Amino acid sequence: MQVRQEPLRQELGQLLPPISSAVRRLSPGSASTCRFSDSEMAVNNGEVCMGMAGSIQRRAVYVLVSGLMAWGVVWALSACSPGTPIAVGYIGGLSGKFADLGTASRNGALLAIEQTNDAGGVRGRKLHLVEVDDRQNNEAALQAMEELVRQQVVAVIGPSTSSVAMAVTPYANDHQLVLVSPTGTTSKLTGKDDYFFRAVGEASFYGAHAARFYAEKFKVRSAALILDMANADYTESWGDAFAAEFQRVGGKVSVFERFKSTENPNHADIARKLLASKPDMVVTVASSVDAALIAQRVRGLNPTVRLVGASWASTERLIELGGSAVEGMLFEQYFDRFDTSPKYQAFAQAYRERFKAEPGYAALLAFDSARMVVAALQKTDQRQEIKPALLQIRNFDGVQDPVRIDDFGDVQRRVHYGEVRNGHFAPLH
């Protein structure tokens, strides 16, 4: 790039005001008052000020101005450098009850970013992942989004939960900042012309599919449902679709309960309500933590009732907390844990080596989400152009499934089923 050479006064007019502001912010101490004129400057208590020229020596002025001009040239060169890293955001719940989901998503995204950098980056530029914790709280999530905008990220991977996705999508729309959510499945964002994309299908599709599958395979005729309203935009999408489809195929929803995991629920009372109608199946639409706690209470009252969890709960944390109570629990899944294909095995091995843990659905979907962002960055590094770049891709080769992005950034994936067997997730035969 070319750096313009202009008279000193014109350079000062452009460089000094922003530098003056920056120096004021960095100054440690006492307040001072500076009066400004059009063409003179002085230094007072560490601040760059216009006016009071007679109070300092001209040589000091020259040295300071020369230094500021040199800084401006260096800044301009670095800003235009083709090697400047591209900032990509990550937002998810990295603390609190839902941290297993957010942490696995972050890890999957980070693995994809690191592999991209190891392969040379994007058009010669490395990627930098900027992580923020939404704490599964809408206000905190909006503050986290503001931080990502301040960090000048070009796209965001996340959020992890549907309720946070609903909260931050309007902000993303206002800033033309694409969100690619690994696990935000709420049906309330389906078919919207917005900046929300995802790497997974909508919750209502999975809920309805699960209802048909369990009714046909296990011949169950009655079900009790419990939904966690702390993530209602997901749980209601899934639970309402399950109930409607289960009734359509001849089943009966004998109990339909709701609770809020953030309000210290009494899991023993929940279990008693779920079992009051003696259902064939208890379906929990909640996180791994609450699904495990409800399972323990239900098993204490009825050791033989069939337990089902929505895919949200199917993380390793469920088995760790639930122990023998979750043995035999059934799940619909966003991915195939037992895939023997070379592509999946390479991903799984890389994840194990990097994070010393087994990859779950959140890790794989975040890995795909990050690779979708990388594919768009191959076309443009301008934030406002990421959305059309993603829509132009259309067909994306995921680790396991081909992903087709529709006009609204929505996708569909195959449904897989599994169970907890001998303390591990196992394929459902």
Report pLDDT digits (tens) over 299-315. Answer: 999 999 999 999 999 99
Q: How far apart are CA 167 and CA 359, in angstroms?
A: 28
pTM, two decimal places: 0.80
Last residue of a domain, one of 23, 56, 79: 79
> Is 232 part of any domain?
yes
- pLDDT tens by residue, 47-63: 333 333 444 343 443 43
Tokens 């998503």 sit on residue: 105
Q: Are residues 35 and 20 in the same domain?
A: yes
pLDDT class for 409, splitting at 50, 70, 90? Answer: very high
- Please state which of the ranges 69-83, 294-308, 408-422 shows the lowest mean pLDDT: 69-83
> Is 112 part of any domain?
yes
> Is 425 part of any domain?
no
DSSP 38: S
Q: Are residues 273 and 344 in the same domain?
A: no
- Which position has the higher pLDDT, 8 or 241? 241
> Is 419 part of any domain?
no
> Is 418 part of any domain?
no
Q: Are residues 75 and 91 in the same domain?
A: no
Statement: residue 343 has pLDDT above 60: yes
pLDDT at 83: 76
Tokens of 410: 């929505």
Q: How far apart are CA 143 and CA 85, in angstroms?
A: 24
User: Beta 222-228 vs 252-259: how paired, if at all?
Assistant: parallel
Statement: residue 7 has pLDDT above 50: no
- pLDDT tens by residue, 238-278: 999 999 999 999 999 999 999 999 999 999 999 999 999 99
Q: How far apart are CA 48 and CA 406, in angstroms?
A: 54
- CATH number at 292 reads 3.40.50.2300
Radius of gyration of the chain from its Cα atoms, rounded to whole angstroms: 27
pLDDT at 266: 97
Q: Are residues 266 and 313 in the same domain?
A: yes
- Cα of 266 vs its chain's centroid, Å: 30
pLDDT at 412: 87
Q: Are 410 and 203 in contact (CB under 8 A)?
A: no
- Please state which of the ranges 28-32, 60-64, 233-237, 358-362 shows the lowest mean pLDDT: 28-32
Pick from 300, 251, 249: which is nearest to 272 by CA? 300
pLDDT at 59: 41
DSSP 231: G
User: Beta 86-92 vs 156-157: how paired, if at all?
Assistant: parallel
Q: How far apart are CA 214 and CA 208, in angstroms?
A: 10
pLDDT (mean) for 20-47: 34
pLDDT at 82: 61
Tokens 């979907």 sit on residue: 365
Q: Are residues 112 and 156 in the same domain?
A: yes
Statement: residue 64 has pLDDT above 60: no
pLDDT (mean) for 84-100: 96
- Which position has the higher pLDDT, 72 or 215? 215
Max avg pLDDT among 20-24, 41-45, 320-324: 320-324
Q: Are residues 66 and 94 in the same domain?
A: no
Q: Are residues 219 and 109 in the same domain?
A: no
> Is 422 part of any domain?
no
pLDDT at 184: 97
Q: Are residues 73 and 134 in the same domain?
A: no
Last residue of a domain, one of 27, 44, 79: 79
pLDDT (mean) for 365-391: 98
- Amino acid (one-letter) located at 308: V
Is the C-alpha dihedral spanning 239, 242, 243, 244 positive or negative? positive
pLDDT at 81: 54
Q: How far apart are CA 36 and CA 126, in angstroms?
A: 43
Q: Are 104 and 365 in contact (CB under 8 A)?
A: no
> Is 181 part of any domain?
yes
Please give the C-alpha separations between residue 215 and each of 3, 17, 40, 222, 246, in angstroms, as whole numbers: 71, 70, 83, 9, 7
Q: Are residues 369 and 314 in the same domain?
A: no
Q: Are residues 292 and 398 in the same domain?
A: no
Q: How far apart are CA 150 and CA 5, in angstroms?
A: 31
Statement: residue 364 has pLDDT above 50: yes
Statement: residue 18 has pLDDT above 60: no
| 3-class SS of residue 210 | helix
- Bridge partners of 307? 282
Statement: residue 416 has pLDDT above 90: yes
Q: Would you call the peptide bond into 159 cis, given omega within 30 degrees of 0 as the criterion?
A: yes
pLDDT at 429: 76
How many domains, in total, are found in the chain? 3
| 3-class SS of residue 156 | strand
Instruction: Identify the domain containing residue 71 by its residue range.
Output: 8-79
> Is 141 part of any domain?
yes
Q: How far apart are CA 135 and CA 138, in angstroms?
A: 8
Q: Are 232 and 166 in contact (CB under 8 A)?
A: no
Q: Are 336 and 400 in contact (CB under 8 A)?
A: yes
Pick from 420, 251, 195: which is nearest to 324 by CA? 420
Please give the C-alpha separations between residue 305 and each of 278, 322, 330, 331, in angstroms, as whole numbers: 9, 16, 12, 15
Q: How far apart are CA 360 and CA 108, in angstroms?
A: 9
Tokens of 57: 């020596």
pLDDT class for 195, splitting at 50, 70, 90? Answer: very high
**How high is the mean pLDDT of the chain?**
86
Q: Are residues 100 and 181 in the same domain?
A: yes
Statement: residue 36 has pLDDT above 80: no
DSSP 58: H
Statement: residue 113 has pLDDT above 60: yes
CA torsion 205-208-209-213 (nearest 10°) is 170
Q: Are residues 107 and 173 in the same domain?
A: yes
E strand or H helix that includes residue 130: strand 127-133
Last residue of a domain, one of 54, 79, 104: 79
- pLDDT tens by residue, 154-171: 999 999 999 999 999 999
pLDDT at 401: 86
The proportion of the chain whose per-residue pLDDT surpasses 70, expressed as a percent, equals: 81
Q: Are 15 and 68 in contact (CB under 8 A)?
A: yes
